Structure 1
Amino acid sequence: MNKVKFFLFTIIFCSLISSCSTSLDDYQEVDNPFDIKSYFIGRVVAWGMLQDYANKVTRRFCVEIEGTWQGNDGVLAEKFYFNDGEIIYRNWQLSKKMNGSYEGKAEDVIGIAVGNHQGFAFQFQYELSLAVEDETYQVSMDDWMYQLDEFRVMNKTSMRKFGVKVAEVTIFFDKQSQVKKCANSDNI
């Protein structure tokens, strides 16, 4: 009887997980589709937070991004200012492919990041080498960016280890912000 209960539980659990999955196909075409090449050009300022597996906010940050493009190749130079005083740099080297998808590399990204867009949504997936105290972990990142208007984008990122969500990152990007730099800790 225990095997039957376990089997039923497994089927129900798997169906619940798969029914919660999001796909780019869920987003319909719009008149002006979200394209990161068009949005991330010039200076963008963003604010965000990191939540652990229990949804507790563990860190807050502000990030300055400078995007430059030559043809279909671009660089997003990011400078993160965390509320605990830590500063982290990441430089994305991005390439827009003929089919409209993107590939990217960065110092702490393992392999190639792959991105696709549909309508107002953009999904970016990659493996990240994450330093936590004296340890380094490899986590799977599933970035979802949603363009709200020509100036603002929301980002939700799920961080997973062995398929289990260990953290979530939420970021609000604003190209029109009056605040042009993050260096002041009052902005975090």
Structure 2
Amino acid sequence: MKLKFIFALLLTSAASLLIGCSSVDINDYRGSEPNLNLKTFFDGKLKVYGMVQDFSGKVTRRFTADIDASWDGETGTLDELFYFDDGEQQTRIWTLNHLGNGEYNGTAGDVVGVAKGKTVGSVFRWQYELTIPYDGDTLNVKLDDWLYLITEDRLINRTSINKFGLEVGEITLIIEKL
């Protein structure tokens, strides 16, 4: 299993070298619509449909989740309950703080330190380190979330999972307001 993981890292780093160093900047979405207001979108009940892919693009897990979201002034709570296709259930409770100018930070029980993010136009970029179960132990990975508001009640989220600076997986999900 460890040899497989090392091979995946080497393959991913080789691919990264071929792709180059270009990356999208959140400010590229200035003026894009519909405008994403986290306090409006993440308010009330939401349903999530998603999948996890490994470094090769193979789907390794599917899941749904229920989110109960609310705000008290500039502080939001996202109570998330995940249902994985293998029967596992996970809970994550986020506490979000709106800092002004589209900037947010947040904490959750399995997040290392403080997550940081920013909204621009129809997009929210959210970055943090997460502790995940791995091979009978835990592993810290860095997540780079890009949330794209498609309609007023639908959002698509693409998350890059990184370890040692290399992408080792991806999460894709759709969030719908109920």
* Structure 1: distance between partners of 2:18 and 2:124: 25
CA contact (8 A) 2:34 2:150 kept: no
Q: Does 1:18 align with 2:7?
A: no
Q: How does 1:63-78 map to 2 (within 5 A)?
A: 63-78=65-80
Aligned partner of residue 26 in structure 1, secondary structure: helix
Give the TM-score taking structure 1 as reference length. 0.83
Query: Aligned residues: percent identity?
Result: 40
Alignment correspondent of 1:9:
none
1:80 counterpart letter in structure 2: F
Structure 1 unaligned segments of length 5 or more: list them.
Answer: 1-12, 177-188
Alignment correspondent of 1:158:
160
Alignment correspondent of 1:168:
170
2:60 counterpart letter in structure 1: T
1:156 counterpart letter in structure 2: R
* Structure 2: distance between partners of 1:44 and 1:36: 13
Q: CA deviation at 1:99?
A: 2.5
Q: CA deviation at 1:15?
A: 8.4
Q: Does 1:42 align with 2:67?
A: no
Q: How does 1:65-144 map to 2 (within 5 A)?
A: 65-144=67-146
Alignment correspondent of 2:63:
61
Structure 2 unaligned segments of length 5 or more: list them.
Answer: 1-15
Give CA deviations for 1:158-185 in whole Å, capped at 9, x if unaligned: 0000011111000001114xxxxxxxxx
Count of matched residue positions in the alignment of Structure 1 and Structure 2: 163
Cα RMSD after superposing both structures: 1.4
Give the TM-score taking structure 2 as reference length. 0.87
After TM superposition, the runs of 4+ consecutive aligned structure 1 residues lying more than 6 A away are none
Higher strand proportion: 2
Q: Which has the larger radius of gyration?
A: 1
* Structure 2: distance between partners of 1:107 and 1:94: 13
Give CA deviations for 1:68-104 in whole Å, capped at 9, x if unaligned: 1100001000000000000000000000002220000
